[in-house]
Amino acid sequence: MAAAGYSCQLVIGTGANAQIVGYARDVKLDGAAGAVEASSRAVAGWKEFLAGIREWSVSIEQLWVPTDAALLALRDAYLSGAGIAVRIEDSGLADIPTWQASTGYTLGSYVKPTAPRGFRYECTQAGTSGASEPSWPTTVGQTVSDGTAKWTCRYAGKGFYGSAVVSAMEHGQPLEGGATLACTLKGTGPLVVIT
């Protein structure tokens, strides 16, 4: 099933420092692999190749909003040369109900907090939610008790994650239209599938 482009999101950072790049207009994930020729006389005139070293990168263009925390984090990572955690995922939160107080939840159901931060929460102990919203964890796999229910932090949707460095930044201010920031993030290790 195809997904609309606007349902994709880029999240940078981890845990409580995770920031959704909220003003992104375009998000593009590129992957490439080298090919090593492995031909021998036994292949009867056909070349054979083995997979070589792989690489990945993410490029984004976002509206320039000087107070946006994600934009500032990208800028700081670029200026310092520091690595940054990256998630590219469908924003699977659209179809997930918002948490409600004093509500019965079944095992395996999902909710999102009243102020989403890029995570969903799976009910891993059926029960009734408390009178006030819990303090949601922002590390995948961590749990929180809520009344008689228990929730486990999960990524918001399916996609990919890895570590990257910001390898290029371009700030554009066209005569007409909004100012933009374009960034390229180069992967610094494997790209892992989120299921």
- pTM beyond 0.75: the answer is no
Query: What pLDDT is attached to residue 2?
Result: 40
Rounded to 10 degrees, the C-alpha dihedral 78/84/88/91 comes to -100
Domain parsing of the chain, residue ranges = 13-91+158-194, 104-155
Residues with pLDDT less than 70, the chain: 1-8, 15-16, 91-94, 157, 195
What pLDDT, on the 0 to 100 scale, is given for residue 80?
94
Dihedral angle over CA of 98, 102, 107, 111, nearest 10:
10
What does the pLDDT read at residue 148?
97
Q: What is the CATH number of domain 13-91+158-194?
A: 2.40.30
Q: Which two tokens stand for residue 158?
A: 């399916």
53 — alpha (psi -120 to 50), left (phi > 0) or beta? beta
Give the Cα separation of 116 and 134 in Å (integer). 13
Cβ-contact 49, 36 below 8 angstroms: yes
